[in-house]
Structure 1
Amino acid sequence: MTVRYFAGARAAVGRSEEVVPAGRSLDDLTADLARRHGDRLAAVLRVASFLVDGVSCHDRATPLPGGATIDVLPPFAGG
């Protein structure tokens, strides 16, 4: 799976995307990302929205499809 980071998530990780193993839920993925990248990303992940292959994901316990693209979208300021 490919995880793409935007705005504050990109700043917390220091890159715009990374490839991660498939076969887990969004909850599992975000826990793993927080462990690997630290508290700064963990804080962003708590308030972020997620797109799975371009579709908003609300059920964080459902297994993610293999080969999916996960977009991490922190809240954006401005208007």
Structure 2
Amino acid sequence: MRPDTGTPQGPPETQVTIRYFAGARAAAGRAEESAAAGRTLDEVLDDLVGRHGDRLARVLQAASFLVDGVTCHDRRTPLPAGATIDVLPPFAGG
């Protein structure tokens, strides 16, 4: 782990970036972090819950996810290195 961010070490080409918005940012306690590429979205989310606990788990249950700007419909497809995952909790209004 990198001591400054609490995220896994590794070259950027072997990582995915997770960006948190609104309530997800508050629950994770940060705006962004990294995770290993090559795993599925479900696997990455399990890892994030392990890092951040139940508060983030509750947000992730209701959140939508974009992978490189596209809604993720298959959470079992391996994520490519360099991908960006946006975690979007439900927003009020509309």
TM-score bucket (shorter structure):
over 0.9
| Paired residue total | 79
Q: After superposition, what is the alpha-carbon deviation per residue over 1:10-37, rounded to whole angstroms, capped at 9, x for unaligned? A: 0001111011111100010111101110
Partner of 2:13: none
* Identity in percent: 75
Aligned to 1:41: 56
In 2, Cα distance between equivalents of 1:73 and 1:5: 7
Partner SS, residue 65 of structure 1: coil
Paired residues for 1:6-21 under 5 Å: 6-21=21-36
Give 3-state SS (helix, strand or coil) of 1:62's partner.
Answer: coil
Cα deviation digits, residues 36-79 of structure 1 (max 9, x gap): 10000000011100000000001001111111000000000123
Which 5+ residue runs of structure 2 have no aligned equivalent? Answer: 1-15
Which structure has the bigger radius of gyration?
2
TM-score normalised according to structure 2 size: 0.81
Which structure 1 segments of 5+ residues have no match? Answer: none
Q: Which residue of 2 aligns with 1:76?
A: 91
- From 20, 37, 40, the equivalent of 1:22 is 37
Q: TM-score, normalising length from structure 1?
A: 0.96
Runs of 4+ off more than 6 Å: none
